[in-house]
Copies of this chain bind each other. A is one copy, B any other.
Amino acid sequence: VPQTYRQVILKDRPVGEPAAHHFELVERPMPEVAEGQVLRRTLFLSLDPYMRGRMSAMKSYAAPVDLGAVMVGGTVSQVVESRNPAFKSGDFVLGYDGWQEYGLSDGSGLKKMVDWRWPLSYALGVLGMPGMTAYVGMLDIGRPKPGETVVVSAAAGAVGSVAGQIAKIKGCRAVGTAGTDDKCEYVVKELGFDACINYKTQHVLRSLRKNCPDGVDVYFDNVGGPILEAVLRLINVHARIPLIGMISQYNATELSPGPNLVPLLFNRALIQGMIVNDHVDRRDAFLQDVSGWLREGKMKFREHVVEGLENAPAAFMGLFRGENFGKLLIKVAD
């Protein structure tokens, strides 16, 4: 264990897009491990769009990160010293240690990764929060039926890629949207979607209309904005729209107008916001189903791994420009 370790703290609250000067990389002395505590070294840090909300003073899902405090985030770590009988040196743990190289606590909230047969990082992706978000959002709110048409935005991303593959497993036509031709090719050729629209180069409404000849029954929305607006014009009676993310809106400095909701009324359709923390009761079913699909080769998952905690701010900023291709992770240590 070294004498010091590094953290990324929130230095200033962004108005609009986050930039480098909103973060600060600081060095801290390594703390003593007191009786009952467990010290772990961060291996992987998950970077996710929801973190933008925590940078603002405004309430989003949860309380904001205080100025000067460590940025929050899900982590996979390895225990390096334990004075808590529930953990021993060498244990791999899933936690919420945030943007730092080491975490120290009494261990509450840490989950031991016992009999873990997958890459460690999967606990932050396809078998973690993003995968479970896709699972609950698609199955419990989207409720796809065989033969229906399901549209998924950010289809190459951590959540969207899982959501669309679940739609395929459930016998639906799956149409994705993504921001580059490479991502679209991946979504169709690797993930097995029926089509994928590059929303930056194609006319979204026209392309959706062409690729959804029977209308849209489920729209799994990760982005909000103009894609939601276009999809609403094509929804069928009793369509379901799980509202999972609105990455297009997270850097907005004021509440801009949204989509016209008349189609929702005429089609007796539903839009429902969801966060996965409300659905812990679905965790076992999720892990069982998605592990099974991974084993059977029905589910693929791509990761975008950036090395080094010092690169977390830049990687995070890139999320909002679609620079990642797959689940964005920081490899903090080996």
- Give A residues with C-beta under 8 Å from B: 53, 59-61, 224, 228, 233, 238, 243-246, 249, 252, 255-262, 264-275, 278
Contacts and interface: CB of A to CB of B under 8 A. Distances in A.
Nearest to A62: B266
A264 B243 contact: yes
Copies of this chain held together in the complex: 2
22 contacts: A59-B266, A224-B261, A243-B264, A243-B265, A246-B261, A249-B260, A256-B260, A257-B258, A257-B259, A257-B260, A258-B260, A258-B261, A261-B273, A264-B272, A264-B273, A266-B273, A268-B273, A269-B273, A270-B270, A271-B271, A271-B272, A272-B272
Label chain A's interface by main secondary structure: loop
Given A258-B258, A258-B260, 9 more contacts: A243-B265, A249-B260, A255-B260, A257-B260, A259-B261, A264-B272, A264-B273, A268-B273, A270-B272
Nearest to A243: B265
A51 to B, nearest CB: 14
B249 A262 contact: yes
Contacts of A275: 268
B271 A264 contact: yes
A270 to B, nearest CB: 4
Nearest to A61: B266
Contacts of A245: 265
A243 B262 CA distance: 9
Contacts of A262: 224, 246, 249, 252, 255
A271 to B, nearest CB: 5
Nearest to A260: B255
Contact of A270 (B60, B256, B259, B273): B273
A269 B266 contact: no
A270 B269 CA distance: 11
A264 B135 CA distance: 20
Closest 8 CB pairs of A and B: A257-B257, A255-B260, A265-B273, A270-B272, A268-B273, A264-B273, A258-B260, A258-B261
Contacts of A270: 270-273
